[in-house]
């Protein structure tokens, strides 16, 4: 029996899948490789005849289920689904900041993920077995190109806004650069034009943990035990970058578990929290997908791709109104990098709004401080 949903909920939602590339017309990637077939999973809310359409781009390990409650949460084990609200349910829905009574709202899953869009766990037509590491390299540029194919398939000519946080924010930026005539407003939350060397280093260590798990087997683990320990360690490491020193101190400090014995078992509460996050993550995500998506995050560099190394030159392509939002305690995409992006747009005498939100929550603030984020979105979308 379905649960009673909270007041103001979008209700039960249902993911859709569409094939956007096949053997006759394969999908071309930035690397020069092609792939077919390519299926894309997406969710579509609000009135189909709405004048204004908003595309939401998910972050690194997110999915298309941005709002409401998944109607088919038991339908299969491929995506490790469970009944839960969408990852931005407080922001998207009737009467909310991204109002589904007013806007048509679309969110799709990225290529290479394990949530319905074609990824490493899918069968390679050439072998009949899962791609594993034979899956082609994916990029933010390719994700946006595939989103454009979805928008075309749905008959949408122009987007009122593209919105995203973190790796989703980089997709929002890429839309403004790749398809400047198709976007009215671009909203970039907790994201910058590229990842720092420190961010590259964290991703590298996470992938090292996965590939050195004895069960990884060169990415061909689908018929046996997956690399759970390696993926859990990668998630634990990444989760530290999503928090901040302030939030970790307030939440855990140096407090120990209620029952502990001196030694090397889990002793401090922060250890227990990270251990829980790692164990929970391996139940819902695929290690190969993690490898590919973090590498796409590494590769994204708007200045290099669009401006010959100059971010100012790259941003000359922008025609949309842009809002860049940073959070003071975010050290994955710190405010100085977000300001750099806003200033590059401004130097082209283009409209840009930059807001730095006080926060103790670190990089995850765009998911946690939904009241502040909703206020900013509502104002910018309606202006």
Q: Which residues are known to be catalytic?
A: 166, 330, 363
Structure tokens at 77: 């084990």
Token code pair at residue 357: 């939100």
- The answer to whether the CB of 15 falls within 8 A of the CB of 43 is yes
DSSP 8-state assignment for residue 61? T
Question: Cβ(162)–Cβ(291) under 8 Å?
Answer: no
- The most distant pair of C-alpha atoms in the chain lies apart, rounded to whole Å, by 63
Tokens standing for residue 31: 């690397």
How do beta strands 69-70 and 12-13 pair?
Answer: parallel
Distance CA 97, CA 159 (A): 17
Distance of alpha carbon 237 from alpha carbon 213, whole angstroms = 15
> What DSSP designation does 186 have?
E
Name 249's Cβ contacts closer than 8 Å, sequence gap at least 6. none
- The CA distance from 306 to 318, in Å, is 11
For residue 56, the cross-strand partners are: 107, 163
DSSP-derived secondary structure for 22-35: BTTBPEE-TTS-EE
Q: Which residue has the tokens 């029952």?
A: 259
| Dihedral sign (CA 117, 118, 123, 125) | positive
- CA distances for 371 relative to 97, 157, 165, 366, 378, angstroms: 9, 31, 15, 10, 11
Q: Specify whether the CB–CB gap between 363 and 241 falls below 8 A.
A: yes
How many angstroms separate the CA atoms of 100 and 363, rounded?
27
């Amino acid at each position: 029996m379905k649960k009673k949903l909270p007041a103001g909920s979008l209700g039960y939602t249902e993911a859709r899948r569409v094939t956007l590339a096949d053997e006759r017309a394969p999908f071309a990637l930035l690397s020069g490789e092609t792939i077919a077939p390519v299926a894309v999973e997406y969710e579509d809310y609000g009135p189909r005849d709405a004048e204004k359409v908003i595309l939401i781009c998910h972050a690194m390990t997110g999915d298309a289920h941005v709002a409401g409650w998944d109607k088919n949460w038991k339908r299969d084990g491929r995506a490790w689904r469970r009944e839960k609200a969408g990852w931005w349910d407080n922001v998207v829905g009737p009467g909310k900041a991204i109002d589904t009574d007013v806007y048509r709202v679309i969110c799709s899953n990225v290529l290479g993920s394990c949530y319905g869009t074609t990824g490493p766990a899918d069968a390679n037509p050439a072998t009949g077995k899962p791609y594993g590491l034979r899956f082609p390299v994916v990029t933010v540029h390719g994700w946006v190109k595939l989103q454009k194919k979805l928008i075309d398939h749905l008959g949408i000519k122009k987007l009122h806004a593209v919105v995203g946080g973190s790796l989703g924010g980089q997709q929002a930026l890429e839309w403004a650069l790749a398809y400047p005539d198709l976007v009215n407003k671009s909203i970039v939350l907790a994201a910058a034009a590229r990842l720092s060397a420190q961010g590259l280093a964290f991703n590298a260590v996470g992938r090292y943990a996965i590939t050195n798990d004895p069960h990884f087997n060169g990415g061909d683990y689908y018929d046996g035990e997956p690399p759970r320990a390696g993926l859990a360690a990668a998630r634990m490491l990444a989760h530290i970058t999503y928090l901040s020193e302030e939030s970790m101190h307030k939440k855990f400090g140096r407090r120990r578990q209620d029952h502990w014995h001196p030694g090397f078992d889990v002793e401090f509460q922060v250890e227990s929290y990270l251990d829980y996050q790692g164990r929970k993550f391996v139940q819902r995500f695929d290690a190969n997908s993690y490898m590919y998506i973090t590498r796409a995050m590494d590769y994204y560099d708007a200045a290099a791709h669009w401006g010959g190394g100059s971010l100012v030159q790259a941003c000359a392509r922008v025609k949309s109104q842009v809002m860049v939002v940073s959070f003071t305690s975010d050290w994955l995409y710190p405010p100085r990098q977000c300001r750099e992006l806003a200033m590059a747009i401004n130097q082209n005498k283009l409209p840009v709004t930059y807001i730095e939100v006080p926060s103790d929550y670190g990089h995850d603030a765009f998911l946690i401080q939904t009241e502040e984020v909703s206020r900013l979105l509502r104002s910018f979308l309606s202006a």
